[in-house]
Amino acid sequence: MNFSIIKIPFDKCIVEKERRGAALAPNQIEKELNDFFQFEALKTKTEFLEIKETNDFNKLHKEVEATALNEYKKGNLVAGLGGDHSVSYGLMKAFAKKFPRKSGLIYFDAHFDCQDDFLPPTHEDVLCAAVKEKFFAGQNILVAGARNYTEKERAFVKKEDITFSQELREHDVIAFCERFENIYVSIDIDALDPAFAPGTGWPEPAGLHPRPLLNLLRLLKATNEVKGFDIVEVSPPKDVNNITVRLAARILLELIK
């Protein structure tokens, strides 16, 4: 299988400018990926593309969707590198068009991202938009790592029958995957504990640990059901010794090798 990695350098949905920086992540993650020896054998199968629109919100989503859909039509596995979590909207929309049946979403995030009903969504309500736009039915969504959310978000998750857990239980995730033929995985780096991933705009304590996550991603990859994924909210300016960027590159490698 060939891999199309779409770089989306956009973080303007983060209103607080002091929390921005995720727009710088795609190039930095690509650089770190090239430093892994295992990636050497994958270079001929991997193509990097970059979204050009970085100002107009609606045009950005349309370009992301069109680019991803075109790569899916080639039979490629499509990966998105954000950017803030809003960039997942166009990626998931393209996935839903390509795989309209028997599809599920695994959403790694410290938050539910169901704050409001904006369309196109911000990074705070992209999961809500994915449900309301019918990219995925609520019962076909699993959120892992969520540990800080409002009562409004909790009520939405309960109403839509979305499964969630603060922990990472392999058997639950694998059992979830058995219901589907096509899986989309969205990984907000803040799902991980900030001790391992400090370079993000919204760090939350008591998060997931990298080793169990990487082990789980290997299991998911082995099912051959993961057809698309994204890695978002990595912020190089907030990083410490580049460990978050390098961890994001490692996660990317696990899902394509």
pLDDT tens digit sequence for 105-150: 999 999 999 987 777 787 889 999 999 999 999 999 999 999 999 9
**pLDDT above 80 for 16:** no
Say what the pTM is: 0.96
Condensed to tens digits (0 to 9), the pLDDT of residues 144-177 reads: 999 999 999 999 999 999 999 888 788 888 889 9
Mean pLDDT (whole number) for 221-231: 96
Domain with 194, as residue range(s), is: 3-256
Predicted pLDDT at 238: 97
State the CB neighbour count (10 A cutoff) for residue 152. 13
For the sheet containing 103-108, what is the strand order?
A: 46-50, 3-8, 77-82, 226-232, 182-188, 103-108, 141-144, 163-165
Element (H, E) at 6: strand 3-8
Looking at residue 190, the DSSP 8-state letter turns out to be G
Average pLDDT over the chain reads: 94
Three-state DSSP state, 79? strand
CA angle 179, 142, 112 (to 5 degrees): 160
222 alpha carbon, distance to own chain's centre: 19
Query: Is the pLDDT assigned to residue 60 strictly greater than 80?
Result: yes
Which DSSP string corresponds to 8-35?
E---TT-SSGGG--GGGHHHHHHHHHTT
Q: Which residue has the higher pLDDT, 119 or 100?
A: 100
Is pLDDT above 80 for 244? yes
Give residue-wise pLDDT tens across range 71-94.
999 999 999 999 999 999 999 999
Task: Return the CATH number at 171.
Answer: 3.40.800.10
Total of domains in the chain: 1
Q: What pLDDT, on the 0 to 100 scale, is given for residue 171? A: 84
What pLDDT score was predicted for residue 115? 87
Main-chain dihedrals φ then ψ at residue 149, nearest 5 degrees? -155, 160
Q: Is the pLDDT of residue 14 over 80?
A: no
pLDDT (average), residues 181-196: 97
Residue 56: predicted pLDDT: 87
